[in-house]
Amino acid sequence: MEGIITGFGGLVGLIFLVVLAILLFGGLRTSMLFTVHTQEMVIVERFGKFLRVAGPGLNMKMPFIDGTTRPISLRIQQLEVNIESKTKDNVFVTVPVAVQYVIKENQVVDAYYRLSNPEAQIRSYVFDTVRSALSGLELDAAFESKDDIARSVENTLSARMQEFGFNIVNTLVQDISPDARVRDSMNSINAAQRDRVAAQSLAEADKIKRVTQAEAEAESKRLQGEGVAAQRKAIAMGIAEQYEMLKRVGIENSAEQLLLMTQYFDTMQDIARNGRSNVLYLPSNPGSVASMGEEVRNAMLQAQAAQDADAQADDDEAHWARQRAEERRRAEAARRAQEAEYQARLAEQEAREQGRAPQGGSAPWGPQD
């Protein structure tokens, strides 16, 4: 009997040890020990009343008495809010706003207990601030004032949410999106403006091109005119030099005909060499060619006859000149003889007058007694 009692007592002790082990390493352990991750905080409550704030690591609490809240993150969090509002010119736009906030360690209690739904309250402040800002701006001004709207939201949230334990790090207005039809209209307006600017640029470029081309053509024509003038001057000087050379060799009256014939043949040669046409119109019958040669021969004969006539005229003129000179010489000799005779008579008369004048004696050439 005693053996049965002793065996029963050992069995009860074993069962107690097993239950104690289960409580220690099972539900009791989980109710006494808890772990908090880095950048997180946990609030410990005793019978629903705030007790303390547990930091990162292994923490203990009284089982069945103390409770813990959900982990409160200390990292920077982002809340995205999509706001639909109307601008001053009655255009409905959608404005996505991103609010970045953080909870500091010394503000964990306020952040957990003072606001029941902090994200909803942040959204309310963002809605109110953005709609107030957009109501006084037109659509184009709203695009330009995007940063100003973001700063206004940030200042408002920072002043309101800091007392509740939420610190606003940054507020970003990501975009301002009007209705699709409004976007299409704005794109059409921008496209028209760009087309107008492009047309103006093209017109200005074409104007510059035309002006430059006109200036180049004017300069080309000026240089071409100077070249033609210089060419004509050189031709005239060459003709003058040829004319003077012909005069020096004795061909004076027929020089013009020779020069004209020379220019005629030079022109025909230049046309044959540099002309773009493959056809050159010349006299077709032999008689015309013969008449051309006859004209050249007649021109040469006329030039020679004119030269001979000039030479004969020069000889006649020289003969008459010699005769006129001989007559002038004879007239001059006769005039000098008359003058000498006249002087001799004057001298003789003076001598006679002196011989008759009484001078106290007789002249040596007078009559002797």
pLDDT in tens, 30-86: 578 889 999 999 999 998 899 999 999 999 888 888 889 999 999 999 999 888 888
Q: Determine the pLDDT at residue 299.
A: 60
Work out the average pLDDT over 204-229. 86
Cβ proximity of 47 and 65 under 8 Å? yes
Q: How far is Cα 168 from Cα 152, in angstroms, rounded to an integer? A: 12
CA dihedral 192, 197, 199, 205 (to 10 degrees): -170
Q: Determine the pLDDT at residue 369.
A: 38
Q: Is the pLDDT of residue 108 over 80?
A: yes
Q: Determine the pLDDT at residue 367.
A: 44
Q: Determine the pLDDT at residue 1.
A: 54
Q: Determine the pLDDT at residue 53.
A: 92
The residues, any chain, with a CB within 8 Å of residue 304's CB and separated by 6 or more, are 254
Cβ proximity of 36 and 71 under 8 Å? yes
Work out the average pLDDT over 199-215. 88
Q: Determine the pLDDT at residue 44.
A: 93
pLDDT in tens, 243-286: 677 667 666 555 556 666 666 667 767 766 766 666 655 554 54
Q: Is the pLDDT of residue 205 over 60?
A: yes
Q: Global pTM?
A: 0.45
N-terminal to C-terminal alpha carbon distance within the chain? 252
Q: How many CB atoms lie within 10 A of CB 195?
A: 10
The residues, any chain, with a CB within 8 Å of residue 109's CB and separated by 6 or more, are 43, 50, 53, 165
Of the candidates 114, 128, 12, 125, the one whose C-alpha atom is nearest the C-alpha of residue 72 is 114
Percent with pLDDT over 70 in the chain:
71
Better pLDDT: 37 or 348? 37
Cβ proximity of 93 and 143 under 8 Å? no
Percent with pLDDT over 90 in the chain:
11
Beta strand residue intervals within 209-257, DSSP E: none
pLDDT in tens, 14-46: 776 766 555 555 555 557 888 999 999 999 999
Cβ proximity of 61 and 91 under 8 Å? no
pLDDT band at 339 (very low <50, low <70, confident <90, very high): confident
Structure tokens at 317: 């003129």
Q: From residue 253, how far is each of 256, 257, 307 by CA, in Å? A: 7, 9, 7
Q: From residue 251, how far is each of 152, 236, 238, 263, 318 by CA, in Å? A: 109, 19, 17, 17, 20
Of the candidates 122, 166, 131, the one whose C-alpha atom is nearest the C-alpha of residue 149 is 131
Beta strand residue intervals within the chain, DSSP E: 33-36, 40-46, 49-54, 57-60, 66-68, 72-73, 77-86, 92-102, 167-173, 177-178
Q: Determine the pLDDT at residue 278.
A: 63
Q: Is the pLDDT of residue 301 over 70?
A: no
Q: Is the pLDDT of residue 111 over 70?
A: yes
pLDDT band at 226 (very low <50, low <70, confident <90, very high): confident
In the chain, helix, strand, coil percent, each to 5? 65, 15, 20
Structure tokens at 319: 């003969």
Q: Determine the pLDDT at residue 76.
A: 92
Q: Determine the pLDDT at residue 23.
A: 54
